[in-house]
Amino acid sequence: MTQPPQGPYGPQWPQGPQGPQQPPAPHPYGQAGYGYPGYPPRKPRGPLIVASIGGATLLVLSLIVVFTLTNGRDNEPSADGGYTNNAATSTVESTTTTASSTTSTTTESSETSTESSTSEVEQGPRKILALADHPILQDPDAGLQNLACHLPAWESNPAAAEAFFTAAAGCLDAAWGPFLEYYNLPFVSPTLHFPSGGGFDTPCGTIEVGIATAAYYCENNLYVPFAGLQTEQYGNNPGVYLALFAHEYGHHVQEVAGIMDAAWEEIYAAGQNSPAGLEMSRRKELQAQCFSGMFMGAHVDRGGTITRDMYDKAWYDQETRGDDTSGTQDHGSNQNYAAWWRAGAYDNRIVDCNTFAASSADVA
């Protein structure tokens, strides 16, 4: 085993006289000082308007939140560094709710209701196109809630793999959905696809299955071709498969939040294959790595089926991934690829995943 990467947060596991010891246990949530485990306490959504009529009657108007539609655009897929050929901007599906009408006895009350409802609509769930200063990356105590995730036993065949990843998607939804909704972001679950054969079609183009395409994300769609999982090499190692799936889901988190759109704007402006464009791609990919680590760290040893062995296997596997292995320049070196995953896994704090504020050396 090689020496631990120094990465953005120093050595990523403790050293013993014979080399690296076992990965450290992730920090649990629910400790004193962190309030509600996993993310800040929910705040009331939408104030109630109360009008007094004749000192006796109360008129209460519940404000209805309307999801806004954010238009995305198709992107060309970028080369993958071991897990995915992520092509990255998507259109968020929206739901529009029509408010039920309430008759007011005064013109003044009606006008107040209309103005307040309009204000609330404007503040409804929507993407925030930002990078280093995105709201989800600011709270030093914010992370994923510690939950039990129950997955079926891994078997290396397409039907069992589909059942495994479908259950994993449910756990990822339960972890990231409340977190993103807390920040008033328009959370939707990604649509899962399990293509067979040597290639598959997506809104981002036709993707060829190979050793660099274990999973793929495009426009709210998450693809897991069984042929790309390399089960002949990894065998019965569900922790490895779960980590790569959580990485791909990490791109969905970026998409829902608006980080993905903001990153691709920078990539297109700089040129996809320019030094600046490739660095922005690495920042995007390394953040997905950190999000994957957060999920694994938040769910290991919580009474579900994500065991310490799965966590350990995923921990060590990360140093075999990245641009050193793939020969590309858009995902980060193997050292940084592992360091960012481990930073998320160990502390489960989303501020540790702010790759867009990191130095260029830490995202090389």
pLDDT tens-digit map of 244-263: 999 999 999 999 999 999 99
Per-residue pLDDT tens for 106-140? 334 344 444 444 444 457 899 999 999 999 999 99
Q: Is 306 exposed, middle or buried (0-12, 13-18, 19+ CB in 10 A)?
A: buried
Specify the pTM: 0.71
For the chain, the domains span 15-43+71-92+127-363
Tokens read off for 298: 């938040």
Cα separation, 225 vs 314, whole angstroms? 20
pLDDT at 79 over 60: no
Q: CA dist 292 to 105, 126, 150, 336, 342, Å?
A: 54, 23, 17, 14, 9
Cα separation, 312 vs 300, whole angstroms? 10
